[in-house]
Amino acid sequence: MDAISPSATAAADLSAQAADDAPRAAVLRMEGIVKRFGAFQALGDVSLELFAGEVHCLLGENGAGKSTLCNVMFGVHQPDAGAMWLDGAPYRPQSPRDALTHGIAMVHQHFSLVEDVSVLDNLLLGQVRGWLDRQREAARVRTLVAELGLTLDPDARVADLSVGEKQRVEIVKCLIREPRLLVLDEPTAVLLPAEIDALLDTCARVVTRGCAVVLVTHKLAEIRRIADRATVLQSGRVVARSSTPSTDVDALVRAMIQRPGNDEHHGTPAAILHARTNAAPRSATLSASPYGRPLADEALQIDGLTVRDADGVTRLEDCTLVVNRGEIVGIAGVEGNGQSELGAVLAGMQKASAGRFFVQGKDCTQAAPQTLTKAGVGVVPEDRHAVGCVPDMSLTDNLFLNRLDDYARRGFMRRRAMRRDARALMQRFDVRAASPDVAFRGLSGGNQQKAVLARELTLDGLAVLVAAQPTRGLDVGAVAAVYDHIRAARDEGVGVLLISSELDELLSVADRVLVMYRGRIMGTCVPDASQLTLQRERIGAWMAGQTA
């Protein structure tokens, strides 16, 4: 196997460890898998073995081919070359239904739910024939949900669920099938710390019954805790393997983010991914009260914002907070607890039912998105596909959506200047694409996210950045780069409101952390490196609705 890493020897050693194990039969064996999309080769000569009773972590940068490989397993894509064997028999699924029939289930990054029916109906789709005993099936669902430590109402309509609740439905939908191979594509992004623990515990229970689990994750703690084996992909090829990933995390991360001759990153993941470490936060020296600073320092003031939905249900209740210039304020909480509504109001995409907010002292409560942009508000929305971009336009056009007028002259667009500046932004923010002219929808999810961040952080007169889940779908190297850019904006005097379900990231990057539960702020703290364990437990309790 060709190995590419900061240390070729280290990568070879990792691969050798896997090769030295005693031969045994794999549940799924993939050999020489190739997948192309037009002229682009997403997978090149990938070989992989998945064993019963093991959790196999799949690592790699955005666009490395992880999701494509999972989709080949699940029958979404058919390989252009190579072969697969399931329990020793040739396996070539033509569709996800075919894969499910063979006992392979997958939780995708993007939901595959029917919005207008109940949770129970979604869970049982394609599983029950003939007479349906809804009471019995609902009881079975509740039992499984209780084992997972999740909260899920089988009778709720999926369209009424939060993003986090929908993710839980996807996970339960797979586990209720008792699959032989379970593929999880970053399933823990929107779960509470306790729910993540419960899911990993469930994975451990599943593998003891002989199931094989593939877990795509960027979270080092999950790799250390649950992984029996790990494989690193880079540019569609395997560059490292490990049969002892809990002790090989440093080498695996280096293999993932480095290329031949590239010495940009050195040291352990703690050094590379300082956004995820326990390094002393800048905020440790600041006052816990934002109101101790002069009024002129306020970049964003939120006063009693309340949002009620069309049914009169309160989604955001009496939210009051201040974000000062040169400060990052983190909003923690499981998705669906008012953060989305707060972000939508501040982006001008949803009207508040009550309350106001001010940007640099100016009342912007009723302002349209274009007016907010002119006021210096940059927005990184949590759903980049729906509201953060125009997928059918080029990367260049999306990078400059908020300032196209700057490139207009006598009714014509200065395309050459746009492409030149787009290339500069691509290099600065590590947005990877064949050219600035490619369609935005053709970029990987992580590169789309980086492009949106690049556009908003370079807004002329940026005073406030509202960033919702800015690192979702990003690999470990990209996460650190994103927070480098956000910190740089903070250091230049921008006030940042950072909404994230990644608690460890918030504790590392934020100057203050506020916790939301059911639309209300439950508590606030200033991260302290000497008390991070205690603070994490306290914040986790607030996220679960506990006040004591």
Q: Beta strands 408-409 and 354-359: pairing type?
A: unpaired
**Which pLDDT band holds residue 36 (cuts at 50, 70, 90)?**
very high
**Which pLDDT band holds residue 292 (cuts at 50, 70, 90)?**
low
Amino acid (1-letter code) at residue 237: R
Instruction: Compute the average pLDDT of residues 318-342.
Output: 91
With the CA atoms of 495, 497, 498 and 504 taken in that order, what torsion angle do they form, in degrees rounded to the nearest 10?
Answer: 80
Residue 363 contacts residue 192 (beta carbons within 8 Å): no
pLDDT at 26 over 80: yes
Q: For residues 319 and 308, give the distance between their C-alpha atoms in angstroms, rounded to a whole number.
A: 13
Q: Does residue 120 come out as left (phi exceeding 0), alpha (psi in the -120 to 50 range) or beta?
A: alpha
**Per-residue pLDDT at 219:** 74
Close Cβ partners of 61 (under 8 Å, ≥ 6 residues apart): 234, 256, 257, 446, 475, 477, 478
Q: For residues 170 and 106, give the distance between their C-alpha atoms in angstroms, rounded to a whole number.
A: 9
Report the share of the chain in percent with pLDDT over 70.
84
Helix, strand, coil percentages in the chain from 3-state DSSP, rounded to 5: 40, 25, 40
List the one residue out of 347, 378, 381 whose CA is nearest residue 365. Answer: 347
Q: Pick 10 or 125 by higher pLDDT.
A: 125
Report the share of the chain in percent with pLDDT over 90.
44
**Which pLDDT band holds residue 480 (cuts at 50, 70, 90)?**
confident
Of 81-90, 109-118, 137-146, 157-166, highest mean pLDDT: 81-90
Q: Which residues of 420-459 are buried (b: 16+ CB within 10 A; e: fewer)?
A: ebbeebbeebbbbbeebeeebebbbbbbbbbbbbbbbbbb
Q: For residues 273 and 271, give the distance between their C-alpha atoms in angstroms, rounded to a whole number.
A: 6
Sign (positive or negative) of CA dihedral 484, 490, 493, 497: positive
The full DSSP string for 215-268 is EE---HHHHHHH-SEEEEEETTEEEEEES-TTT-HHHHHHHHH--TT--S--S-
**Per-residue pLDDT at 164:** 64
Q: Which residues sit opposite 59 in a β-bridge?
A: 232
Q: Is the pTM of the predicted complex or chain greater than 0.75?
A: no
The encoded tokens of residue 141 equal 């669902």
pLDDT at 519 over 50: yes
pLDDT at 489 over 60: yes
Poorest-pLDDT segment among 141-150, 206-215, 318-327: 141-150
pLDDT at 540 over 80: no
**Per-residue pLDDT at 347:** 93
**Which pLDDT band holds residue 76 (cuts at 50, 70, 90)?**
very high
For residue 402, the Cα-to-chain-centroid distance in whole angstroms is: 25
**Per-residue pLDDT at 290:** 52
Q: List pLDDT tens digits, range 415-458.
A: 999 999 999 999 999 898 889 999 998 887 778 888 999 999 99
**Per-residue pLDDT at 467:** 95
**Per-residue pLDDT at 7:** 38
pLDDT at 276 over 60: no
371, with CB counted inside 10 A (0-12, 13-18, 19+), is: middle
Tokens 């609705």 locate to 545
Q: Which residues sit opposite 49 in a β-bridge?
A: 29
Q: List pLDDT tens digits, range 192-239.
A: 666 677 778 878 888 888 899 999 887 777 888 999 999 999 889 999
No. of helices (H) and no. of strands (E), the chain = 19, 22
194, with CB counted inside 10 A (0-12, 13-18, 19+), is: middle
Q: For residues 156 and 348, give the distance between their C-alpha atoms in angstroms, rounded to a whole number.
A: 29
Poorest-pLDDT segment among 168-177, 326-335, 407-416, 473-482: 473-482
Of 257-271, 301-315, 472-486, highest mean pLDDT: 301-315
**Which pLDDT band holds residue 131 (cuts at 50, 70, 90)?**
confident
The full DSSP string for 88-140 is TEE---SSHHHHHHTTEEEE-SS----TTSBHHHHHHTTT--SS--HHHHHHH
Q: Order of strands, edge to edge, in the sheet holding 81-86?
A: 40-50, 28-37, 81-86, 89-90
Rg for the chain (alpha carbons), in Å? 24
**Per-residue pLDDT at 283:** 37
The encoded tokens of residue 366 equal 């009723």
Residue 317 burial (CB count, 10 A): 20
Q: Which domains can be identified in the chain, with CATH numbers?
A: 8-103+181-272 (3.40.50.300), 117-178 (no CATH), 282-376+459-543 (3.40.50.300), 390-449 (no CATH)
Q: For residues 392 and 510, give the distance between their C-alpha atoms in angstroms, rounded to a whole number.
A: 35
Q: For residues 472 and 187, give the distance between their C-alpha atoms in angstroms, rounded to a whole number.
A: 11
Instruction: Compute the average pLDDT of residues 536-548.
Output: 76
Q: List pLDDT tens digits, range 303-312.
A: 999 999 887 8
